[in-house]
C-alpha cells in the first residue's frame, strides 16, 4: 500500500499514478494507491483496467449527514475506493484521533464494504518503557470493540511503530525479526476479538533495500509505504 499522505499536488498525484501503472506489468501482488481525497476522482479512471486498487487515507465516522468537512465512506465507495486507512499515527497525533472515533470509522467503513486498514503502533516512550504489547493490546481492543467481520479479508491491520516512521526526526528502522514478533502478537490478539486470521502489514521506513527483509517474515503479509512510495521507480522496486 502506498500512502502518499498530503505530499503531492493533484497534478503530481496523477503523474505518479500513471508512472506506477506503467511499472506494474505481470504483477501478482495486491497494490493499493492512497492519494489524497481530492485526487481520488481523477486517479480512479487512470487505474481502470490495471491491477492497481484505490485506497483513501481516512473515512468518516458517520453516514451521510451534517458533518462539515468530513468525507463519507459511501462517496469513497462510489469513486471506486476499495480500502481506507484508519487511525494513522499522524491523524492520532495532529488531529487527536482516539480509539472510540477510530472504532466508529471502522464500523462505518465495514458497513459500506470498504476494507479498513487499521493503523496502530507504539511511541518511542512506550517502547523504552517496555509497554509496547500492553499498549497495542489496549488500542486493538478499543479500536475493534463490537466489530464483527465475515471473512478474514474484510479488515487489515497495519503495524506502524510511530518511532520508525520516516518523517519522525529520530526515525530508526525496526528490525524485521522484531517486527515479526509483534505481527504474531497482533494476529493472535486480533483473532481473539474478531475470530478471524486477519492480515497484518508493516509500515515504518520501508524502502526498496529493506522491503524484502520484512516480506520474508512469515507473518508480515504486506507493507504500508510512505516516503518511498512517492517515487515510481522506488515503489516499483519494492513490489517487484
Ligand atoms: P514511511 O511512512 O514509509 O515514510 O515511514 C509510513 C506511514 O506513515 O504510513
The DSSP code sequence of 135-171 is HHHHHHHHHTTT---SSGGG-EEEE--GGGSTTSTT-
Residue 12 annotated to the active site: no
Q: What is the model's pLDDT at position 80?
A: 97
* The pLDDT value given to residue 144: 98
Which of these is catalytic: 90, 97, 122, 160?
160
Asked about 88 being catalytic, the answer comes back as yes
Question: pLDDT tens track of the chain, all 240 residues?
Answer: 999 999 999 999 999 999 999 998 878 889 999 999 999 999 999 999 899 999 999 999 999 999 999 999 999 999 999 999 999 999 999 999 999 999 999 999 999 999 999 999 999 999 999 999 999 999 999 999 999 999 999 999 999 999 999 888 778 889 999 999 999 999 999 999 999 999 999 999 999 999 999 999 999 999 999 999 999 999 999 988
Cβ of 225 below 6 Å from ligand 1: yes
Q: Whose CA is nearest to atom 7 of ligand 1?
A: 226
Instruction: Measure 33 CA to ligand 1 centroid, in angstroms.
Output: 13
Q: How many CB atoms lie within 10 A of CB 182?
A: 21
Which residue out of 83, 157, 160, 172 has the highest number of ligand 1 atoms within 8 Å of its CB and is therefore the one to mutate?
160
Please tell me the predicted confidence (pLDDT) of residue 240.
86
> Ligand 1 centroid vs 8 CA: distance in angstroms?
15
Measured over the CA atoms of residue 24, residue 2, residue 205 and residue 100, the dihedral's sign is negative
φ, ψ at 83 (rounded to 5°): -120, 150
Closest CA to 48 of 64, 70, 69, 33: 33
Residues facing 54 on adjacent strands = 33, 81
- Secondary structure of 68-83 in the HEC alphabet? CCCCCHHHHHHCCEEE
Q: Report the distance separating Cα 157 and Cα 167, nearest Å.
A: 21
- Alpha-carbon gap, residue 39 to 5, rounded angstroms: 12
CA of 224 to the centre of ligand 1 (A): 7
224 lines ligand 1 (CB under 6 A): yes
CA distance 201 to 136: 15
CB 35 within 8 A of CB 71: no
pTM of the predicted structure, to 2 decimals: 0.97
Calculate how far, in angstroms, residue 227's C-alpha sits from the geometric centre of ligand 1.
Answer: 6
Q: What atom in ligand 1 is closest to the CA of residue 229?
A: 3
Q: In this predicted structure, what is the pLDDT of residue 79?
A: 97
- The predicted pLDDT at position 172 comes to 81
Burial of 207 (0-12, 13-18, 19+ CB in 10 A): middle
Calculate the alpha carbon distances from 172 to 3, 167, 175, 204, 206 in Å: 19, 10, 9, 9, 11
Amino acid at each position: 500500500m502506498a500512502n502518499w499522505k498530503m505530499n503531492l499536488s493533484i497534478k503530481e498525484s496523477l503523474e505518479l499514478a500513471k508512472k506506477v501503472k506503467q511499472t506494474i506489468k505481470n504483477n501478482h501482488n495486491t497494490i493499493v494507491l492512497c492519494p489524497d481525497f481530492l485526487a481520488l476522482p481523477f486517479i480512479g479512471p487512470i487505474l481502470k483496467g490495471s491491477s492497481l486498487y484505490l485506497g483513501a487515507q481516512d473515512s468518516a465516522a458517520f453516514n451521510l449527514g451534517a458533518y462539515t468537512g468530513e468525507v463519507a465512506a459511501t462517496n469513497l465507495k462510489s469513486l471506486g475506493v476499495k480500502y481506507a486507512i484508519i487511525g494513522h499515527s499522524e491523524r492520532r497525533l495532529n488531529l487527536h484521533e482516539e480509539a472510540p472515533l477510530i472504532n466508529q470509522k471502522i464500523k462505518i467503513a465495514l458497513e459500506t464494504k470498504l476494507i479498513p486498514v487499521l493503523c496502530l503502533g507504539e511511541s518511542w516512550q512506550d517502547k523504552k518503557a517496555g509497554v509496547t504489547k500492553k499498549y497495542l493490546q489496549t488500542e486493538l481492543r478499543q479500536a475493534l470493540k463490537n466489530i464483527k467481520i465475515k471473512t478474514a479479508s474484510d479488515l487489515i491491520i497495519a503495524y506502524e511503530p510511530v518511532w520508525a516512521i520516516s518523517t519522525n526526526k529520530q526515525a530508526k528502522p525496526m528490525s524485521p525479526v522484531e517486527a515479526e514478533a509483534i505481527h504474531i502478537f497482533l494476529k493472535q490478539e486480533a483473532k481473539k476479538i474478531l475470530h478471524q486470521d486477519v492480515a497484518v502489514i508493516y509500515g515504518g521506513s520501508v524502502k526498496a533495500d529493506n522491503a524484502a527483509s520484512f516480506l520474508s517474515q512469515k507473518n508480515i503479509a504486506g507493507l504500508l509505504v510512505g516516503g518511498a512510495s512517492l517515487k515510481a521507480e522506488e515503489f516499483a522496486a519494492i513490489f517487484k
